[in-house]
């Protein structure tokens, strides 16, 4: 932290102890602390209205306040300001309760020295900044959810389908939001008792949950753009065969511990042609990922690329759980999933996105499937300003 950047509000009625704390701060390397001392809680609340501070050092025995009852009014006046509690009692229950009520740290005065005081101040400020950043991130994420949901609602007629759409979207946000709330609450309530490894685990969980929500929002936005006719087709020169091989390699690296085999074959000598790489990635990535997800362990997925004079055919076949006939009619509708997926995770947006991207290419998609036997998806896309190599 830069020098002279930390402004401290000390609430301590004992002048000798206040002078000792001030002397400790003067001894700190860089002397980067400035201290304002008040003797009563009421004085502190008035100073918080008039001035800005980086941290509060709070004695628990004051003429106008006793024990932890000082925390509530301080948190009310300055909710984001970190508080370090100072006390003469080495009471673990009191320490835990102080942290639960909003304090960032707890120091026993007779154990105090320069290093402990400085370290506690710095750590308290850093922890408070992390929690504030998480709170702001959650608020921003909530606003983003509301904004993007509003865009979708405006794009649809008032109908039963819209109601079901919003309901499903809210349901899919609930799990990652719950993960974020539980982890932030646990960190706030037990921060001083947690190891660095445990804290890191919770931060990684929150990051993963936010990433999942962001991915879902992006998928919903793509569906919304397609419904409004704003899904743009932006073709560039692309060699299909190496693109498909690279996509297979990426999938094999990203599926974790699940063992599977993708057999990729190519018929016809395909040269470079005009394709929208982003839309193709949505189409083939979703279909291949689904084939893997709904297939048993150690199963094989077949991926065929067939070049013809005016079209290219992509065929993806699996021997997974299959799709019941009655579910195939609604297969490409948003948030629609077959009834036999059981506990396999998913939000029902993948195939809706695939169909929109196929249509943006001016192509067609079809499915052949039988429950318990397997599924074959066939995508036929027209060649645009492309050359097919011939022998």
Secondary structure (DSSP) of 247-280: HHHHHHHHSTT--EEEEEEEESEE-EEEE-HHHH
Q: What are 125-172's pLDDT values in tens digits?
A: 888 888 778 888 888 888 888 888 777 766 654 355 455 555 555 656
Residues 74 and 20 in one domain: yes
Please provide residue 76's backbone torsions phi and psi, each rounded to the nearest 5 degrees: -70, -40
Among residues 227, 255, 280, which one ends one of the domains?
A: 227
Q: In the chain, what's the furthest Cα-to-Cα distance?
A: 96
Residues 101 and 148 in one domain: no
- Could you tell me the strand order of the sheet in which 83-87 lies? 33-38, 6-11, 55-59, 83-87, 105-108
The CA distance from 22 to 5, in Å, is: 16
* pLDDT higher than 60, residue 391: no
* pLDDT higher than 50, residue 41: yes
The answer to whether position 118 is within a domain reads no
Residues 222 and 259 in one domain: no
Distances (CA, A) of 247 to 39, 129, 254, 274, 358: 67, 40, 11, 18, 17
Compute CA 272 distance to the chain's CA centroid, rounded to the nearest angstrom: 37
> So what's the pLDDT on residue 389?
38
- Of 39-43, 223-227, 308-312, give the lowest mean pLDDT range: 223-227
Q: What is the mean pLDDT of residues 353-375?
A: 90
* pLDDT higher than 70, residue 191: yes
Residues 383 and 241 in one domain: yes
Residues 250 and 381 in one domain: yes
Residues 102 and 27 in one domain: yes
The CA distance from 251 to 202, in Å, is: 27
Q: What is the mean pLDDT of residues 177-206?
A: 81
* Domains of the chain: total: 3
The answer to whether position 150 is within a domain reads yes
Compute CA 353 distance to the chain's CA centroid, rounded to the nearest angstrom: 21
- The boundaries of the domain holding residue 84 are 6-112
The CA distance from 284 to 291, in Å, is: 11
Claim: this prediction has a pTM higher than 0.85? no
**133 exposure class (CB count in 10 Å sphere: 0-12, 13-18, 19+):** exposed
Q: What is the mean pLDDT of residues 65-80?
A: 88
CA atoms 66, 69, 71, 77: torsion sign: negative
The CA distance from 28 to 213, in Å, is: 44
Residues 12 and 80 in one domain: yes
> So what's the pLDDT on residue 44?
93
The answer to whether position 119 is within a domain reads no
Residues 199 and 319 in one domain: no
């Amino acid at each position: 932290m830069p020098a002279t950047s930390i402004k401290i509000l000390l609430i301590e009625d004992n002048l000798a102890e206040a002078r000792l704390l001030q002397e400790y701060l003067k001894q700190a390397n860089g002397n980067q602390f400035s201290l304002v001392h008040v003797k009563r809680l009421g004085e502190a609340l008035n100073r918080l209205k008039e001035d800005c501070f980086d941290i509060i050092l709070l004695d628990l025995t004051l003429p106008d306040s006793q024990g932890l009852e000082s925390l509530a009014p301080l948190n009310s006046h300055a909710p984001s300001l970190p508080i370090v509690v100072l006390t003469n009692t080495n009471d673990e229950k009191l320490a835990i309760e102080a942290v639960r009520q909003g304090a960032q740290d707890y120091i026993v005065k007779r154990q105090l020295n320069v290093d402990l005081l400085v370290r506690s101040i710095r750590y308290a400020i850093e922890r408070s900044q992390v929690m504030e950043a998480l709170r702001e991130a959650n608020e921003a994420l909530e606003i983003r959810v509301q904004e993007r949901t509003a865009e979708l609602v405006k794009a649809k007629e008032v109908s039963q389908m819209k109601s079901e759409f919003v309901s499903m979207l809210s349901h899919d946000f609930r799990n990652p939001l719950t993960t974020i709330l539980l982890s932030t609450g646990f960190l706030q309530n037990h921060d001083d008792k947690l190891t660095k490894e445990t804290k890191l685990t919770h931060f990684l969980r929150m990051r993963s949950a936010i990433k999942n929500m962001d991915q879902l929002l992006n998928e919903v936005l793509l569906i919304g753009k397609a419904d409004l006719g704003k899904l743009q087709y932006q073709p560039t020169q692309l060699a299909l065969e190496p693109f498909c091989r690279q996509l297979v390699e990426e999938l094999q690296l990203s599926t974790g511990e699940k063992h599977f085999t993708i057999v990729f074959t190519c018929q016809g000598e395909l040269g470079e042609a005009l394709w929208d790489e982003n839309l193709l990635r949505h189409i083939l990535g979703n279909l291949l990922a689904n084939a893997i997800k709904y297939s048993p362990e150690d199963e094989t997925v077949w991926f065929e690329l067939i070049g013809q004079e005016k079209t290219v055919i992509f065929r993806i076949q699996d021997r997974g759980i299959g799709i019941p006939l009655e579910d195939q009619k609604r297969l490409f509708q948003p948030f629609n999933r077959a009834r036999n997926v059981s506990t396999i995770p998913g939000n029902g947006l993948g195939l809706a996105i695939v169909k929109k991207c196929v249509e943006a290419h001016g192509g067609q998609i079809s499915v052949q499937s039988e429950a318990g036997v397997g599924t074959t998806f066939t995508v036929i896309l027209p060649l645009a300003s492309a050359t097919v190599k011939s022998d």
